[in-house]
Structure 1
Amino acid sequence: MITETKTVVKAGWNLANSYAQLPQSFFTRLNPNPVSSPKLIILNHPLAKSLGFNFEELKDNDGAAIFAGNEIPEGAVPIAQAYAGHQFGHFTMLGDGRALLLGEQITPKGQRFDIQLKGSGRTPYSRGGDGRAALGPMLREYIISEAMHGFNIPTTRSLAVVTTGETVFREKEEIGAILTRVAASHLRVGTFQYASNWCSVGELKALADYTLKRHFPEIHNDEDRYLSMLEEIIRRQASLIAKWQLVGFIHGVMNTDNMTISGETIDYGPCAFMDSYNPETVFSSIDIYGRYAYGNQPNIAAWNLSRLAEALLPLISDNEELAVKLAKDAISSFDDLYHNNWITGMRAKLGIFNTEIEDEALIGKLLSIMETYGADYTNTFRALALNKLEDMMIFDTEEFVKWHEMWQARLERQKEPKESSYELMKSSNPAIIPRNHRVEEALEAAVNGDYSVMEKLNDALSNPFEYSAKQDEYAKLPKKRNCAYRTFCGT
């Protein structure tokens, strides 16, 4: 039985429900499915504080019951959101098949964040699934999303994980769990695709107006506001994908339902970080053709944004031919926007403050050498930032020695001293990433009841640019370098 808790004042719940004011076609109201024995496993103290929650109150049994969906905080209107999406290029109707939006927490600073339970049970959009989630994948999302936050990359975040006391069945029996996810919103490209395909133009306009008010208030009254919104989304995504590439992050499942309107990274299913530099790197077990490979992520982002543009055509202009032209012009800007973000970031990774025409060739040459020798992406830049060129085969090669001379000459042509360049590099190159073997190590220990491994990993990742002694262990590569690592979507 689900009850409504009255601990809202003590715990700090301050929920609004603006999304639930949209037309009924965009969501279904329902309560989470209660679980037998909820237990709070991890609670994000800094995030809870920033959201206005009382950490101590959330830690008690009432907090576990809320994060499990057994109790509903006062002010919540739980809903499952409807959306569609291109999954590996194939369009289909989707929706929150195992998640419920409790509402929007209004923070002490007046900001608005979605609070969503992931793994809270079946919904009308479950499509045959059980609506539940396993502990391992929920902890993976916690680790990776918080690491991304540490990298200063826009992302949904993880507030809490609870175990349910129940078993879920995947390829084997696994511990059931629920993740509480925090997002600027859960509006997706797929939300607009859903509206375009199954709703009226009036409902599409209502969704767009809501999105403008929530995420783009500065252009809400523009004459061409829907085109301006598209252009702003393109800018945000160009910046986001460049940030992914700069740290070697591979999302793994860049379906249109996994691209947010806000510009945040969402859904950490088969994601991972690249070790040896190779643009063709794929980790996802279901991406057998490499559609979402590391080097293809910018192209896929542009493709996804084109699908958003198609959905918005009726709002961009009543003249279909003009709407198509305006949308195409907007989409065509993505490549330059992405490239400018990426090369600016790459200059920073190499300690370069100003711009020279030859910079792109210098960057490209280093990446080519790294690919040839299978050099670790993160540790190569880490070593350059520390000016400790040792213990990696690439540094002994003739190609690298020549490149290093060109790079040093490039730094000497700047007015900034080299010490400043190395400081810029340290602030632009994470000392550590969530190494795949370290993540797996933490998850294996956690599902066996030992959360200390995960806690230490999260602590080390909380400030990835610290370059502290405690991080050195996490910079080490696995003993077996060339094993075929695979990730799974966790559904």
Structure 2
Amino acid sequence: MQTEHSYSTLPAEFYSLCAATPVAAPKWLAFNHELAAELGLDAALCETEQGLAIFSGNQQAPWSKPLAQAYSGHQFGQLSPRLGDGRALLLAEIIDKKGQRRDIQLKGAGPTPYSRRGDGRSALGPVVREYLVSEAMHALGVPSSRALAAVYTGEPVYRDQRLPGGILTRVAASHIRIGTFQYVAMLQDLPALQQLADYVLQRHYPELQQEAEPYLALLRAVCQAQAALVAHWMSVGFVHGVMNTDNMTVSGETIDYGPCAFIDSYDPHTVFSSIDHQGRYAYKNQPAITQWNLARLAEALLPLLHPDEPTAVALATEVLNEFPTLYQQQWQQRFCAKLALTPGAENAALVQQLLDLMAQQQLDFTLTFRQLSQSLTDALTPERPTTPISHDAAFLQWHHHWLAQLQLENPKPGFVALQAQMDQHNPFFIPRNHQIEQIISQVVQQDDLTLFQQFAKALQSPFVATASNAVFAQAPPAGGPHYRTFCGT
């Protein structure tokens, strides 16, 4: 196993060395053997007492050098100058079997210098949620941090009630955030800001190091990565829930699965987070908020873009103004693929018409696209009785228009091939809110891992309709509650 600690070569203001706080009676909840193999982790760590000690914070591995990272963040639009890892520790960077550098981090490992009087712990419920949802996002093809291990701590945490505690071990391309750049920019330490930018270029965008304007190229690359990421979120109905600048990575990965959830009945105004009273991070607002966050990154980078501030602002503005086009291109590619259509303005309008109808008729986001795929088979066998997705005349008219467009674009491959193509872009099941809540309840209240393990296994093939996966493809009962989600802090 090859481990390094390159982040600690940055100036001291970027982090604080900090050891984990031991816990009373840890025990395994889950260990991700597939991910461990990718990382080249020693098999001795896999569900052993030594591994349990390391991933609960009770023992420092010889390859680890734990530190808490410093960063700022705009939280719901308000700047918090000094946040940082209040309950997370970066243990090391692992060079995986593909030669890629990946952070390995404990989350919920106790207080750090950035805990702001917090306990630095995590309740078990949020650990279960992040483990399953982050692994689901990976299985859906969305760039994401991943879950390597989860443990019970054997100790309670106190939020609005007494709850069992847990620790998650997560893996990410890095944990460098927009807020990391904001933090250093506010220190007005230009050499340190340049060191951070050079480090990110080398780590995430090495092909840009030789550009004439590498820091402007860095800004553009992060804009492109975030446009692609959020379009992917939108295409699977994912609502992040807390898109603060300290939760948005410069690598273009999804991290920090707090009040996240997936849409059931489609409503572009959907909000799940219990603290998002104004709907700032609603599903439909995610692209605009991403651009707003990127503007904060641009502000932090201004001293590196040009010594003349008005010129730097003009350069950054030009890049930021490209974001809506970048995002729209990614959105068209994602959503047109869900309907087996060629990306383009006319087909994008057809997609939007469908989404509008889905919102008006409160159709399930995931099931509607899978049922549209199935309708291609029905179109080939008219003698079979067909269960309409919607009896509404406007929907039936849209469906007829869509089939005609498919035939126009694909005169030869036929509907069977198109159905297979659609099924590659439309998951059979997602982490349904009511099911995740049921799993959390069984783990936390009953110490029962049965459903957790079934779901984790099903995540190996979320696009494939199987008998074992079918239970997770069911929509919530009609008239059920609107689920609220919580940060877990």
Partner of 1:438: 435
Give 1:377's aligned amino acid: F
2:322 aligned with 1:333, yes or no?
A: yes
2:159 aligned with 1:170, yes or no?
A: yes
Among residues 69, 87, 91, which one is paired with 1:81 in the alignment? 69
The 8 Å contact of residues 135 and 178 in structure 1, kept in 2 or not, is answered as: yes
The 8 Å contact of residues 121 and 166 in structure 2, kept in 1 or not, is answered as: yes
Among residues 374, 378, 384, which one is paired with 2:366 in the alignment? 378
Partner of 2:392: 397
**Is the deviation greater in 480-489 or in 212-221?**
480-489
Give 1:395's aligned amino acid: S
Q: Secondary structure at 2:94's aligned position in 1?
A: strand
2:315 & 2:358 partners in 1: Cα distance? 40
2:174 aligned with 1:185, yes or no?
A: yes
Partner of 1:407: 402
Shift of 1:461: 2.3
Q: Alignment length, in residue pairs? A: 478
Partner of 2:471: 473
The 8 Å contact of residues 373 and 394 in structure 1, kept in 2 or not, is answered as: no
Give 2:456's aligned amino acid: N
Q: Normalising by the residue count of structure 2, what TM-score does the alignment of the two structures yield?
A: 0.95
The 8 Å contact of residues 154 and 165 in structure 2, kept in 1 or not, is answered as: yes
1:166 & 1:317 partners in 2: Cα distance? 52
2:399 & 2:386 partners in 1: Cα distance? 16
Shift of 1:58: 2.3
Please list, as runs of the form range in 1=range in 2, the aligned pairs for 1:38-117 lying within 5 A after superposition.
38-55=26-43, 57-92=45-80, 93-117=82-106
CA offsets, 1:70-99, max 9 Å, x none? 111113111010000000000002000011
Give 1:444's aligned amino acid: S
Give 1:360's aligned amino acid: A
2:221 aligned with 1:232, yes or no?
A: yes
2:360 aligned with 1:365, yes or no?
A: no
Give 1:428's aligned amino acid: H
Distance 1:108 1:358, change over 3 A: closer
2:11 aligned with 1:23, yes or no?
A: yes
2:406 & 2:337 partners in 1: Cα distance? 12
Shift of 1:39: 1.1
Q: Secondary structure at 1:72's aligned position in 2?
A: coil
Give 1:350's aligned amino acid: L
Shift of 1:360: 2.1
Give 1:33's aligned amino acid: T
Distance 1:314 1:424, change over 3 A: same
Shift of 1:484: 2.1
Partner of 2:118: 129
1:16 & 1:174 partners in 2: Cα distance? 35
The 8 Å contact of residues 93 and 102 in structure 2, kept in 1 or not, is answered as: yes
Q: Secondary structure at 2:424's aligned position in 1?
A: helix
Among residues 233, 239, 249, which one is paired with 1:260 in the alignment? 249
**Is the deviation greater in 354-363 or in 133-142?**
354-363
Please list, as runs of the form range in 1=range in 2, the aligned pairs for 1:336-351 lying within 5 A after superposition.
336-351=325-340
Partner of 2:487: 489
Shift of 1:356: 5.2
Give 1:28's aligned amino acid: S
1:313 & 1:154 partners in 2: Cα distance? 28
2:425 aligned with 1:428, yes or no?
A: yes
CA offsets, 1:265-318, max 9 Å, x none? 000000000011111000000000000000000000000000000000000111
Distance 1:355 1:32, change over 3 A: closer
Partner of 2:461: 463
CA offsets, 1:421-465, max 9 Å, x none? 111110010010000011011111111210110111122222111
Q: Which runs of 4+ in 1 moved over 4 A?
A: 388-394
The 8 Å contact of residues 196 and 311 in structure 1, kept in 2 or not, is answered as: yes
Q: Normalising by the residue count of structure 1, what TM-score does the alignment of the two structures yield?
A: 0.95
Shift of 1:394: 5.0
1:375 & 1:410 partners in 2: Cα distance? 22
Q: Secondary structure at 1:113's aligned position in 2?
A: strand
Q: Secondary structure at 1:358's aligned position in 2?
A: helix
**Structure 1 stretches lacking a partner, 5+ long:** 1-11
2:462 & 2:389 partners in 1: Cα distance? 24
CA offsets, 1:111-138, max 9 Å, x none? 2110110001111100111001111101
Shift of 1:199: 4.4
1:40 & 1:79 partners in 2: Cα distance? 24
Among residues 133, 138, 145, which one is paired with 1:149 in the alignment? 138
CA offsets, 1:225-258, max 9 Å, x none? 0000110000000000000000000000000000
Partner of 1:5: none
